[in-house]
Amino acid sequence: MLIDIPSELEAALIDRFLPPWELDGSFLAQSTMEEYRTELTVTPRFEETAATLRHALAGEGGGYAVLRLGNLAKVLGVDDDRFLRLATGFAAEVAVPFSPFPRWPLWKDIGVKVDKDPGKSSGIGYNAFHMDLVNGTMPPDYTTLLCVRPDPLGGGPSILSDAHAAVARLSEDSRALLAETAYHYGTFFDLHGVGEEYKPFPILDGSNPGERFVRFTAKMLERSQLGQAHADAARELAEELVRGQVSFMLQPGDYLIVNQRRFLHGREALHSGQETVPVADRRLLLQLFLRARAGDGSAA
């Protein structure tokens, strides 16, 4: 769902100053969230917009939203501290912002590296459907991406797919295989706020079917040793995710928020010729993770 910011709200936010945030460990401090909320809720139509955002992410049939902050980005600068604080304030209306990576700031850069594994988030190739931090016992409930610069050559649209709808189209036998604790992917080192390493794990866990994680990354098909039957079931799921995908190009200031209990995400390949683009002009996103508050239905 695309959410445009009402003009009255845009005009008021340009003049709204939020103080620098503070962290409590790897999480945004409660005092900062309260301060941001106090400042923002007196802004015309903020609460209405925040409610629309929450419904798009956790309401019936929802699971992702793109908050169109481009006009604010033009005025304030998309990587300016004032703009990032406003984006953080919107994020805190959904859940608690945090960074699972102690060596990175709250917002983590995802740039483009032509010599990186093409399938990685900072690579130039197709980034297949996945959930972030799939091998943690407590993955982030939401993953978010703020577009600073799209690919200047026109590639790299974001892709999203309803994981539960894809699972529902699978055979009963495939779903049974995906529910077995037989999958593994990636490393687990120096991470905060995402539980313990989960290895092996089921792709389908046993919680409420409508809200459970679909612990999937297509990269496991090439980079993990899986038994034939389990690999075939995961491959079938990958195909269904592609069949049900939506895609769109993020523009400067667009803020994509994905409910990881409902949708998986990825990215089409960047346009060829990235090595000719100066590093400072290449595609750049900022990533932030969110943890649902205790008692929030999306954390069921």
Q: What's residue 117's pLDDT? A: 84
Q: What's residue 299's pLDDT? A: 43
DSSP string, 127-177: EEEE-TTTTBSS--SEEEEEEEE--TTS---EEEEEHHHHHHTS-HHHHHH
Residue 147 has pLDDT above 90, yes or no: yes
**Domain hosting residue 52, numbered range:** 2-293
Q: What's residue 300's pLDDT? A: 37
Domains contained in the chain, number? 1
Confirm whether 298 is domain-assigned.
no
Confirm whether 300 is domain-assigned.
no
SS3 at position 18: coil
Confirm whether 233 is domain-assigned.
yes
Confirm whether 134 is domain-assigned.
yes
Helix (H) or strand (E) holding 232: helix 228-243
Q: What's residue 174's pLDDT? A: 96
Confirm whether 200 is domain-assigned.
yes
Asked if residues 261 and 194 have their Cβ atoms less than 8 Å apart, the reply is no
Helix (H) or strand (E) holding 273: none
Asked if residues 137 and 266 have their Cβ atoms less than 8 Å apart, the reply is no
Indicate the range of 159-173, 198-212, 277-291 predicted with least confidence.
198-212
pLDDT (mean) for 112-124: 88
Confirm whether 236 is domain-assigned.
yes
**What is the residue-averaged pLDDT of the chain?**
93
Which has more pLDDT, 35 or 294?
A: 35
- Length of the chain measured in residues: 300
Confirm whether 299 is domain-assigned.
no
Q: Omega before 20 cis (within 30°)?
A: no
| DSSP letter (8 states) at residue 65 | E
Q: Which residue has the tokens 């980005």?
A: 73
CATH number of 54's domain: 3.60.130.10
Tens of pLDDT, residue by residue over 168-219, are 999 999 999 999 999 999 888 889 999 999 999 999 987 665 668 999 999 9
173, 232, 233 from 177: Cα distances, Å: 6, 9, 7
